[in-house]
A = this chain, B = another copy of it.
């Protein structure tokens, strides 16, 4: 048969939505993704060679291509899975909570908990955001846009609930900056856990957007 990877991937795709079983193919694929994430995190997407990835997953160079048709698709799968998971987790946690401040605190906590529990994957997601091209890029961009819009919705709700006045776009992007920058500095031996950092950042950010009421201090 011509291209083994295409053929096998099609037949292997008949897996249930159920979590545990999964085919051998899917399990091995997930393993490789984990090791590749670690390598991409350490050396960067461009800096990591397929030979590095093969060594990390204890597999031959050619063997990798049974699971992925290209290095770019491998990065794509990592980013898509990571992003999808974090959005799913957020939606589940927001369910049933109506207070708009509490909902933003949940957003921050969910983001930072996932970030610190999956540091390598989140660094690859944040740091290699521009590495994908065309089709791959736009599919990840769509998930990112959904995530961004959820946050905008939460902040706009807070704004109207409490009659606040701030630029939602700047506030949202500042919040993402505060949170995502963590991959450049967090040291588990020095820094507190996600819940504590989320509390601290939530305090600063929420007081910051709420303390003002209406208008800027000097009316500029």
Q: Which of A43-81 contact B (CB under 8 A)?
A: 44, 46-47
**Once the chains bind, are A204 and B174 in contact (CB under 8 Å)?**
yes
**Once the chains bind, are B197 and A203 in contact (CB under 8 Å)?**
no
A212 to B127, CA, bound (A): 33
Q: CB-nearest residue of chain B relative to A173? A: B185
- Which B residues lie within 8 Å of A191 (CB)? 169
Q: CB-nearest residue of chain B relative to A175? A: B178
- Which B residues lie within 8 Å of A143 (CB)? none
Q: Which of A200-220 contact B (CB under 8 A)?
A: 200-201, 203-209, 211-212, 216-217, 220
- Which B residues lie within 8 Å of A129 (CB)? 184
Return the contact of A166 from the options B166, B170, B200, B206 (Cβ within 8 A): B200
Query: How many residues in A have their beta carbons less than 8 Å from beta carbons of B?
Result: 40
The oligomer's copy count stands at 2
- Which B residues lie within 8 Å of A44 (CB)? 44, 46, 130-131
Tell me the smallest distance from the CB of A160 to a CB of chain B, in Å: 18
A56 to B130, CA, bound (A): 21
List residues of chain A with CB under 8 Å of any chain B CB: 44, 46-47, 127, 129-131, 166-167, 169-171, 173-174, 176-182, 184-185, 191, 197, 199-201, 203-209, 211-212, 216-217, 220
